[in-house]
Structure 1
Amino acid sequence: MKAQHDIETVLRQYLNQWAHPELAVAHGYGDDAVAFLRRLRADDLPSVENRFFELNDRQSNQNLGTLAMRIRRAPGEIRRRIDEVNSSLERSEFDRGRFLTIDVRDSQHPDVTEFLASIARMQDRSLLADNRAAQEQRFQRIRELLARLGSSDPSDVAWRTRCLDTRRHVTFVGVEVDTEGRAVNHHDSSDALSGGQAQKLVFFCLAAALRYQLVGPDGDLPSYGTVILDEAFDRSDPEYTRRAAGVFDQFGFHLVLATPLKMIRTLQEYVGGVATVSIRDSKASRLGVASISEAADG
């Protein structure tokens, strides 16, 4: 009877800490428990467990730290790239006595703040001591975080996008500055602008971004310079149209413009040739060539 009691005591102590579906607190499970113990010893469970905790400490800590570092650094990297675009914007006046610059502002969602805080808690040095219970709790938190990151649930997908898409962690504001560098106007979007004003804002940013992408910070001319613009400058006033075309020309771009003939007179100093397209209906169209003076007069 004492042996049975001792067996049940040992089984109870073990199963209270590590549940096992094939064992129970009864002396009849003694042989099964011994067989299971032999398998654990044959598999060298202590070394496997030590390896697990080592990986849990070193690799997960390193990988989570790298992820958090990249998220935190992303706004600074975006600012550095926008600085190059701003260098392009400085090449031409946006308006008389005014230049356009793009201001990058932090716009971090609370979910991002909490996500980074949760990673910091997992990396808390107090949890990395030789405390197996704390390590297991840490592993459980990491597993829950990774499960949410890999989830296809719409709410989790939206959360993951907010946390990992670092483009959403900043907003862009167009700032008009005078020759003294003083801000005189701000554009957080084109919603409040007229059609011509919105187009003006877009073209200046487009020309500067293209120059940055195709030239780089130290070059003068783009390596590939043909830019095709559909319905170019159709809602812009003549003065702005000439200035915007001058921006592209100054940046070294070769423009192919699809635009109404009425714009040719305004653009004629930038136009080297004109092709006309006449469309009667969906089954009949005609392509022709016209001189610049004919197009301007037409």
Structure 2
Amino acid sequence: RNIVRIARTRIQEIDARSNQLRADTERIMDDYLKNHSTDDNTVMASVEDYRYFLDELDELNMLVTRAATDEEYANSVKKLYMSFQQLNRALRTDEENIKEQLNRINSMLKGQQFGPQGGRLSLDVTFSPIDRQFETTLSRILSKLEDWTRNASDNPTETRKAFNNCETFVNRLHNELDKIHDTNGIKAYGARNLDPRVRSSFYAIVHHDNAPDERISSTGGKSGGALQELTSFVYGAALIYILGGDLTARPTYTTLFLDEALIKADGRYTKRALAVLPRLGFQIIVSAPESKTAEILNVANRAYVAYKDPSTDNSYLQELDSETITQDETQPTTAPAKPTTEA
């Protein structure tokens, strides 16, 4: 009975001490969260979350360490090696990815006649080479790090030497990244050796069955109509590729609104430009001035005219059909004019 009494008393004392320590610890944790943590409630002021606080403490200790340990050096060299390998692979595959996406877009253009001769349009790209010195520096540092991985990863002296050898190429990467400027949310890509888009030149090929292929590398010198048709083909195929998700699916949102997009195109180009987009799966809604309605009506399923009454400043829509168009064309010139057509 004495042993039970003593044990029970001791347990009660330990419980009381434990509760006191828990309260003190959670008060300190709560003060820490108020001063240093965000308001995302990821960590609560509870000793149940002690391991998260320990992880954070370890990270803080890493930041304030005066002298890096051998283990930290080895870990850093391994991460550098992995990053350089990933960069080396990306330099080889980024160009291939761009060509692959162009091939998918070109598959959308198959069967669509382009130009007055009914040719077939396809897109292609050429890349200027990466700077030879950049490639050489990357290849050299990868070779050194591979040798370190195989033969000297357990040698602290060689590990620090390998880490210092990375400095030249890391500085080179910093210089490349410093050429990218972000102005008002629009990035000006200038990392020539890192981004193949900076080294790319896109052009179009028009294939003809009975004539030489035509290469379009610039929009300069082309009429507004020719440029409009080229734009319809390229944007239409690109949009269905992006919105459709693969080579066969229709876009999830298929309506295109073109606000006076054809005002510079003549009748032939207007018809061809508007014909390709519905064949790619889009519903087209075009607004155009009165001078362009004749060409659009020839390919439109429905047409509406917006009228404005000058006396009331009220506008209204009237659907045009073949009967309405015939009446408008046959009515005498002395007939009273309708309200002014605005769009």
Structure-2-length-normalised TM-score: 0.61
The residue that corresponds to 1:35 in the other structure is none
Does 1:140 find its partner at 2:170? no
Does 1:74 find its partner at 2:94? yes
Q: Which moved more, 1:217-226 or 1:229-238?
A: 217-226
Provide Cα deviations, 1:195-235, integer angstroms capped at 9, x if missing partner: 22222211110111111112244435322101111222211
Does 1:100 find its partner at 2:121? yes
What letter matches 1:71 in structure 2?
L
Q: Structure 1 141/190 Cα, relative in aligned 2: closer, same or farther at 3 Å?
A: farther
Provide Cα deviations, 1:127-150, integer angstroms capped at 9, x if missing partner: 554276664444234334434544
Distance 1:61 1:132 in 2: 17
Shift, 1:194, TM fit: 2.5
The residue that corresponds to 1:62 in the other structure is 82
Distance 1:189 1:277 in 2: 40
What letter matches 2:83 in structure 1?
N
Asked if 2 retains the 8 angstrom alpha-carbon contact of 1:276 and 1:289, the reply is: yes
Q: Structure 1 178/156 Cα, relative in aligned 2: closer, same or farther at 3 Å?
A: closer
The residue that corresponds to 2:201 in the other structure is 171
Distance 2:203 2:313 in 1: 43
Shift, 1:245, TM fit: 1.0
Task: Trace 1:154-233 onto structure 2 (pairs within 5 A).
Answer: 161-179=191-209, 184-219=213-248, 221-233=250-262
Three-state SS of the structure 1 residue aligned to 2:114 is coil
Q: Structure 1 67/228 Cα, relative in aligned 2: closer, same or farther at 3 Å?
A: same
Shift, 1:97, TM fit: 3.2
Higher helix proportion: 1
Q: Percent of counterpart pairs with the same letter?
A: 21
Q: Structure 1 65/291 Cα, relative in aligned 2: closer, same or farther at 3 Å?
A: same
Q: Which moved more, 1:68-77 or 1:209-218?
A: 209-218
What letter matches 1:60 in structure 2?
L
Shift, 1:58, TM fit: 2.4
Task: Trace 1:101-120 onto structure 2 (pairs within 5 A).
Answer: 101-110=122-131, 113-120=132-139
Q: Structure 1 198/261 Cα, relative in aligned 2: closer, same or farther at 3 Å?
A: same
Q: Structure 1 159/97 Cα, relative in aligned 2: closer, same or farther at 3 Å?
A: closer
The residue that corresponds to 1:263 in the other structure is 292
What letter matches 1:190 in structure 2?
T
What letter matches 1:122 in structure 2?
I
Asked if 1 retains the 8 angstrom alpha-carbon contact of 2:106 and 2:237, the reply is: yes
Does 1:244 find its partner at 2:273? yes
Q: What are the ranges of 5 or more consecutive residues in structure 1 without an aligned counterpart?
A: 1-42
Shift, 1:164, TM fit: 2.6
Distance 2:198 2:250 in 1: 32
What letter matches 1:176 in structure 2?
V
What letter matches 1:106 in structure 2?
F
Distance 1:74 1:279 in 2: 58
Q: Which moved more, 1:59-68 or 1:187-196?
A: 187-196
What letter matches 1:139 in structure 2?
F
Three-state SS of the structure 1 residue aligned to 2:122 is strand
Q: What are the ranges of 5 or more consecutive residues in structure 2 without an aligned counterpart?
A: 1-64, 182-187, 330-340
Distance 2:234 2:265 in 1: 16
Shift, 1:169, TM fit: 3.1
Shift, 1:190, TM fit: 0.8
The residue that corresponds to 2:140 in the other structure is 121
Distance 1:91 1:285 in 2: 48
Q: Which moved more, 1:129-138 or 1:265-274?
A: 129-138
Provide Cα deviations, 1:137-191, integer angstroms capped at 9, x if missing partner: 44234334434544699658689622333322322110111137x8511111212
Asked if 1 retains the 8 angstrom alpha-carbon contact of 2:229 and 2:272, the reply is: no
Q: Structure 1 104/54 Cα, relative in aligned 2: closer, same or farther at 3 Å?
A: same
Shift, 1:71, TM fit: 2.3
What letter matches 1:116 in structure 2?
E
- Matched residue pairs, number? 247
Distance 1:202 1:140 in 2: 51
Asked if 1 retains the 8 angstrom alpha-carbon contact of 2:105 and 2:238, the reply is: yes
What letter matches 2:138 in structure 1?
I
